[in-house]
Amino acid sequence: MIKSKAQKRRERRFKLVKARGELQSALDKYSISLGNTNSLGNTNSLGFLNDDEYIQTTRDDDYIQTTRDDEYLQTTRDDEYIQTTRDDEYLQTTENKESNTLDNWSLDRLPKNMHKYYHQRYSLFSLFDHIKIDMEGWFSVTPEQIAIHLANRLKGGTIIDAFCGVGGNTIQFAKKCDKVIAIDNNKTRLECAKHNARVYGCENIEFIHGDYMQLDLKADKVFLSPPWGGISYNQSEFSIDDMPIKGTDIFNRTKRITNDICFFLPRNLKKEELMFEDVEFEETFLDGKLKSYSVYYGNLINRH
């Protein structure tokens, strides 16, 4: 039977409403509150992309994401990790008892849509067997070869790694710069970054637990690898002002420190949004695939 467009739309809408119900049940079951934004209808706290494919919820430094396809619904929140599996017959909810463990990862501790990161683990960190990483770290860390390239472009002096995560970039900057100031507002990830820096033998790093946007710092250059918006950020078009912290605000804040800025952003960025001033866009490929853009300003622009 050929379905009309309106019928397909109705079906998509129905699935979405159902997914929202499931998300709410999962959140209720584990007493996860969205704080001030406990209404799932609140557009600030809930993002819908590709209609029935997933729902994503972010709030301040907390992070909740629910991914849904025909097979599962998954909810992660910082140290907590909840996965709800659904197929046509049943809804099964499991709580990962080892959710606070940051090492000894194995495939079965990761949801299906993140298995690809596990297979790439030695590209993320060549010393992966010794590092600590949390659930968000898995999909947000800069792969080592890209981090090495960035460190070569940004070498020398004091650098701020404003959103250091589990330390993928920080470690490589430490090898090429005199000093790194590494900031993250998530304690768990900052602790991972400290541990990982020790594994790589880096000592010239000052770690700060705090909100980069509120800190008053001095440095020669700043590297910005802000959260893009979760594992499912890759909408057809990415806008820097749709990130959890607006890209324009991050840029303006950073200009108070230095003109020498590098922004690390998704491959589907809108270049025109980043033309605040003279700028260089550098495509970053990994395994032959366009992965991201590094966007350079000030003296970081390669003028040769």
Ligand X SMILES: C[S@@+](CC[C@H](N)C(=O)[O-])C[C@H]1O[C@@H](n2cnc3c(N)ncnc32)[C@H](O)[C@@H]1O
Which residues would be at the binding site for ligand X (CB under 6 A)? 61, 140-142, 163-169, 183-186, 189, 211-213, 225-227, 245
| Cα(294)–Cα(302) distance, integer angstroms | 12
Strand locations in the chain (E): 47-49, 54-59, 62-68, 72-77, 80-86, 91-95, 158-161, 179-184, 205-209, 221-224, 261-266, 280-286, 289-296
Minimum gap (Å) between residue 227 Cβ and ligand X: 4
Minimum gap (Å) between residue 284 Cβ and ligand X: 13
What SS3 state is found at 212?
helix
Minimum gap (Å) between residue 123 Cβ and ligand X: 12
In the chain, count of helices (H) and strands (E)? 8, 13
Minimum gap (Å) between residue 162 Cβ and ligand X: 6
Q: Which residue is nearest to ligand X (CB)?
A: 168
82 vs 133 by CB, closer to ligand X: 133
Minimum gap (Å) between residue 285 Cβ and ligand X: 17
Burial class (CB in 10 A: 0-12, 13-18, 19+), 172: buried
20 vs 118 by CB, closer to ligand X: 118
| Cα(247)–Cα(220) distance, integer angstroms | 20
Burial class (CB in 10 A: 0-12, 13-18, 19+), 35: exposed
Longest dimension (CA), the chain: 67
Minimum gap (Å) between residue 78 Cβ and ligand X: 9
Residue with tokens 């010794």: 130
Nearest to 243 by CA among 268, 223, 262, 222: 268
Report yes or no: 132 and 101 within 8 Å, Cβ to Cβ.
no
Minimum gap (Å) between residue 210 Cβ and ligand X: 7
45 vs 186 by CB, closer to ligand X: 186
| Cα(96)–Cα(76) distance, integer angstroms | 10
Partner residues linked to 264 by β-bridges: 294
